[in-house]
Amino acid sequence: MYGKNNIAIGFLTMGFFMAYGFLLIYLRDFAPGKVEWANSYSIGKHFETRLAHVHGNLFAFLNILIGYLLLRFSDKLKNVKVISWLALTGLLMPLGILSEVYFGLPPVLVLIGAIAITVSVVWLGIAFLKIKAISQL
């Protein structure tokens, strides 16, 4: 039943990063210092938080999609468990960006997550190429 957690955690992660988007809107439009925040659009914390927001939603969506495909084609695909875990591990990338911004941690989680999600997507693509025939998509 691998894939179910990817879907559930993907939706929860997407909800978190969508809500985080509201914080970014607040910082840009309503917070004290909003002008300075807006002026730092392409540098520093502003840029990093936008990266986390965008990648968090993208990787959440990828987990939802990967989870669905793993559930739907688990009988035809190989290495479903590993692909599932790699995709979930990919969520460390946007969380790692936030941990850099807010806690000053090194970018280790960013690298681990980026590598994991990339490997999961490529591995799933190769797994689909190896399927002889897919009936009733």
pLDDT in tens, 85-129: 999 999 999 999 999 999 999 999 999 999 999 999 999 999 999
Task: State yes or no: pLDDT of 134 exceeds 80.
Answer: no
Give the domain range for residue 22.
Answer: 4-129
Rounded to an integer, the average pLDDT of 26-33 is 90
Cα separation, 90 vs 107, whole angstroms = 14
Task: State yes or no: pLDDT of 40 exceeds 90.
Answer: no
Question: Does residue 44 lie within any of the structural domains?
Answer: yes
Number of folded domains in the chain?
1
Going by pLDDT thresholds of 50, 70 and 90, the confidence category of residue 137 is: low
Question: Does residue 113 lie within any of the structural domains?
Answer: yes
Residue 43 DSSP one-character state:
S
Question: Does residue 137 lie within any of the structural domains?
Answer: no
Question: Does residue 69 lie within any of the structural domains?
Answer: yes
- pLDDT top residue among 86 and 44: 86
**pTM for the complete prediction?**
0.91
Question: Does residue 76 lie within any of the structural domains?
Answer: yes
Question: Does residue 35 lie within any of the structural domains?
Answer: yes
Question: Does residue 12 lie within any of the structural domains?
Answer: yes
Q: Cα 98 to the chain's mean position, in Å?
A: 13
